Amino acid sequence: MNETLRKIPFIRLVIPLILGIVVANFVLVKPFIIAFVGLICFVVFVLFNNKNSYSRSWIIGAFISMFFCCLGYFLANRSLDSNSQISDLSDNAIVVVEIKDYPVEKRNSYKLIAKTRYAVETDTLFFQEDVILYVQKDSSINCIGPGTIIVFRNKLDEIKNKGNPGEFDLKRYYQLENICFSGYLRTGDYLITNYTVDSFIYKLNRFRRKVIDFFYAKGITGDNHAVLSALTLGYKELLSKEVKVIFASAGMIHVLAVSGLHVGIIFLILAWVFKYPLRPTPVLIQVIVILLILWTYAAITGFSPSVRRATIMFSFFTFGRSLKRNFNSYNLIAASAFLILLFEPTALFKVGFQLSYAAVLAILVFQKPVFNLFYFKNRVLVYFWRIASVSIAAQIGTLPLTLFYFHQFPSYFIISNIILLPLIPFLIYGTVVFVIVGQVESIAQVMAFALKQMLSFVNFITNFIDSLPGALIENITISKGQVLFLYFVIIFLAIYILFKQTRYLVLLLVSFFCVLLLGNFNFFNKAKDDNLVVYNSGKESLYAINTGNNSCLLVSGDNHYIKSGLDYYISTFNNPEIFNMKSDSIKHSAFFYVNGFLLYNGKRILFLNDDKYKKKCINKLLGLDLLIVSKEFSGNLSELMELFNIKKVVFDSSVKGWRLNKMKAECENLKLSYYAVDSQGAYIFEPVKK
C-alpha cells in the first residue's frame, strides 16, 4: 500500500487540505493562531528538509500535512465569512449592479444574478458582492442581459431559511455560492442604464444564448430544445419540472448536467483532429489549442464542479502526453481536487463536487471488477456490458449521496444507460457539426432533422422507463451517520479489491452493521415524534400533525394547495393524508377536528380562519392551549379574550405586514404570549400526553 501511495503524491496534500476545510466549517479559531501554526510548520519543514536522514522523514511529512491543514482552514474560514457591506446600507442608498447572465423566468417574476459595483449614500462605497434580484414581469426585461448596468434604491434583504423542519437549507446553498442578499424590484423601482460591461465571460454567455436561439430557429423546439441546450451547453433553465422528474426516474439526470463525459468527448474530437486531418501540427500548438478550447467550453457551460475536474485532468494529461510522461489516474484526480479547493474551498460542500469525485473514483476502482463478473464472446454484448459496468460502478460511488440529498433511487438505471449513453457522443458530435455548418441551409436542415430524431428517441425512452412500475423508489431517508458508514463500506471494499487484504472485509462488515444500527435507531426515534407543526409556507396556511412515522396535513380547501403553490411543501412528506379544514368535522385516530377546534392528545387548539367568533357571548371562559390565527381572521383579539382563556397565540405564515404588526401589538397589550411564523420560522407544538 505504501508503494501505491508514493505514486499519488497529491493525495498527501489534498487530504489535510480537506481536513482543514471541514474543521473550519465546524470550529471557530482566530485566524492569527492558524497563521502562526502554519508558519511554524513551514519553518520546521525548511529546517528538516536539509537533512538527508530517513529517520526524520516522518517529521517532514507530519509538518507538511499540518501546514496544508492550516491552509485549508484559513482559506475556508475566509470564504465562509458572511460579513457583508450590504448590511450596512440604509433603505435610501442607491445601489448600482452589473447583471451577470440572462434573466430566468419564474412563476411570478424574473430571476437575475447580479454583482454590485458601488452604492451611493452619504459617500460612495465601492464593493463587489453577488446578489439575487427578482424583477416584476414586464417588457423591459428584454433589455437586460449579461453586462447590463441597472440602478435601484436599496431593497436588498438577507437570504433566510423559512425555518421548516427538514427543509432545504437555502441560506447555506447560496452562501456557498457567495450570495447572501436578495431583493424584489417592481416596475419603476429600477433604472436600466445605457452602459454595458463587455467582459470575456459575458461574451461567452451571449454566444451561448445565440447558439440556444439558433437551435430553436432551426426547428428544435419544446422538450427537445430544452434537453439539447442542457446536454450540450449546460443551460438547464429551459427544462420543465416534469422533464427533470422523468430523467431522474429513468436514472439519466446526469446527462442533463455537462460533466466529465462531455469534456472527454470534446477532448477526443480534438485529439482525433490533430491525429488525422491536422497531423503535422507542432506539439506546442496542439497543447495550446486543446487547452484553449477545453477551458472555453468549460466557461461556456458555467464551470460546474465536474467540468472543472475533468478539464483540469485533461489539461494535466495533455501536458504529460506532450512531454511523453506517464501519469497516474488517482494522482490526476487528487491534483484536480487540490487545485479546485485551493481556489474555492467551499466547493467541498457542494453536491456537484461531491457527486463528481465520488463517481469518477468509483469508476476507477469498481468498473473493472464489475466488468470481469461476466464474460461475453460477442463484441456487441461486450460493448454494452462495458457501459453497464461503468454505470454500476458510478452508482456504487454516488449511492450514499443520492439517497441522502435526493431520497430516491432509479430502479432501471442500467437499462436506460445501456440504451441512451451510446447516443450521447453522437448528439454532441452532431451538435458541434450543426453549429459549424449552420449557415449552409441544406446541411443545417439535415442535421436538425437528425438531432430531432435522436432527441425524440431519448425523450421517448426516458418517458417509457418512467412509466414502468417501480421505476423510482422514493422517500428514502438516511442520516449523515449512515452516509459516513456507507462510505466506510465502499472504501474498505475498494481497499480489499486493490490490495487483497482480508482484514478490510471485517471492517466492511462492521461498517455495514453500523449502517443498520443507525437506521434502526433513527426509525424508532422518529416513531416517538408526536407534534403539530405550523409551517412557514408563504401566503397560504399549512399545518401538519405528525404521529410517529405518519403525517396528516391540514389545508384550507379541496386541492387548494395545488393552486396556491403548497404542493412544493406537501411533496416533502412521505405519502401524507390530506384533510380539508373547511369540512365540518374530521375524525382520525390521532385527533378530532370540528368547526376549527382540534382536540389533540388532550390539548385544545383553535384554528381561527374566519370571523365566526366575532360578537359572541359565553358564560364561562373556555381554556385554549393554542390559538392559531390565519389571514382570514379580521377581528380583534380582545374580543376573543371574552370567550377563551388563551395560553399562546401563533400567527401562521399567511398573516403578514401591517396586520401582523397590529395583532402583535395587541398581544403585548393583553400580555399574551405570541409567535409569528412569518419572521420566526415554523412553530412546533409538542403536547404532553395526559
Q: Beta strand 626-629 with 124-126: parallel, antiparallel or unpaired?
A: unpaired
Rounded Cα gap, residues 606 and 168, in angstroms: 30
Rounded Cα gap, residues 346 and 335, in angstroms: 17
* Stretch 158-184: mean pLDDT: 89
The maximal CA–CA distance of the chain, rounded, in angstroms, is: 101
Rounded Cα gap, residues 72 and 601, in angstroms: 51
Percentage of the chain exceeding pLDDT 90: 43
Would you give the distance in Å from CA 683 to the centre of its chain? 26
Q: Please, which residues have CB within 8 angstroms of residue 72's CB and are 6 or more apart in sequence?
A: 16, 17, 18, 19, 20, 21, 23, 24, 341, 345
- Whole-number pLDDT of residue 54: 47
The model's pLDDT over 540-566, given as tens digits with 9 standing for 90+, comes to: 888 988 887 778 888 875 555 544 555
Rounded Cα gap, residues 177 and 172, in angstroms: 9
Domain boundaries, the chain: 2-80, 86-198, 201-251+429-475, 259-346, 350-411, 480-527, 530-685
Three-class secondary structure of residue 87 per DSSP: helix
pLDDT bucket at 306, cuts 50 / 70 / 90: confident
Three-class secondary structure of residue 119 per DSSP: strand
Strand partners for 624: 646
Strand partners for 124: 120
* Model pTM score: 0.86
CA atoms within 13 A on the CB side of 500: 1
CATH class of 86-198: mainly beta
Question: CATH number of the domain at 530-685, out of 3.60.15.10, 3.40.1360.10, 1.10.940.10, 3.40.120.10?
Answer: 3.60.15.10
More confident residue, 68 or 456: 456
Rounded Cα gap, residues 677 and 536, in angstroms: 6
Nearest partner of 148 among 124, 117, 119, judged by Cα: 117
* Stretch 68-86: mean pLDDT: 83
* Stretch 512-533: mean pLDDT: 85
Strand partners for 191: 151
Whether the pLDDT of residue 44 is over 80: the answer is no
Of 53-62, 261-270, 367-376, 641-650, the range with the lowest mean pLDDT is 53-62
Could you tell me if residue 559 is left (phi over 0), alpha (psi between -120 and 50 degrees) or otherwise beta? Answer: left
Burial class of residue 313, CB neighbours in 10 A (0-12, 13-18, 19+) = buried
